[in-house]
């Protein structure tokens, strides 16, 4: 019998620019191993103070639109009190308040229940830290 709780960590390298990285395929591969056609919940968590998890459409410009919106809301300038790292890095520490570091999604019959255009994405604006861990946890019966 499969375990009620299974967890794994993805190691993601985001590069030297702000990114929205689609993790949907990684989540599906994890569920193929962990869920075994069961119903339950998938929790995605990024344990970093400057990154978040978003559910959004990718490939049509929405990922770039999200990064542009974050620049409008949180400009990378010298207004931030948190001042180490690259210029304007303090904004990166505010982003998880707008793009939460976690998401919990339904899993039905071992399959991730997303809408037609929805993807699970890592949002990372911190160009000073290009190595990210993302924990995937399945709880099901």
What secondary structure does DSSP assign to 15-51, as a single string?
-SS-EEEE-HHHHHHHHHHHTTT--EEEEEE---TTE
Q: So what CATH class is 5-140? A: mainly beta
> For position 20, what pLDDT does the model report?
97
Q: For residue 138, what are the contacts with CB-CB under 8 A and spacing of at least 6?
A: 5, 6, 7, 30, 31, 34, 35, 40, 41, 42, 43, 107
* Distance separating alpha carbons of residues 123 and 55, to the nearest angstrom: 10
> For position 141, what pLDDT does the model report?
85
- Token code pair at residue 20: 């929205």
φ/ψ region of 63 (left if φ > 0, alpha if ψ in -120 to 50, else beta) reads alpha
> For position 19, what pLDDT does the model report?
95
> For position 1, what pLDDT does the model report?
56
- Where in the chain are the domains? 5-140
pTM (two decimals): 0.94
* Distance separating alpha carbons of residues 137 and 139, to the nearest angstrom: 7
CB 110 within 8 A of CB 32: yes
36 pLDDT more than 60: yes
* Distance separating alpha carbons of residues 63 and 120, to the nearest angstrom: 11
């Amino acid at each position: 019998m499969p375990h009620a709780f299974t967890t794994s960590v993805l190691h993601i390298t985001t590069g030297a620019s702000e990114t929205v990285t689609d993790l949907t395929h990684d989540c599906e591969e994890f569920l193929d191993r962990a869920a075994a056609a069961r119903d339950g919940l998938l929790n995605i968590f990024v344990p970093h103070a400057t990154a978040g998890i978003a559910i959004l459409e990718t490939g049509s410009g929405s990922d770039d639109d999200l990064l542009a919106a974050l620049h409008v809301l949180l400009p990378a300038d010298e207004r931030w009190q948190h001042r180490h790292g690259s210029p304007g890095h303090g904004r990166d520490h505010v982003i998880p308040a707008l793009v939460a570091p976690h998401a919990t999604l339904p899993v039905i019959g071992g399959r991730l229940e997303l809408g037609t255009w929805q993807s699970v994405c890592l949002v990372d604006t911190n160009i000073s830290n290009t190595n990210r861990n993302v924990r995937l946890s399945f709880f099901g019966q």
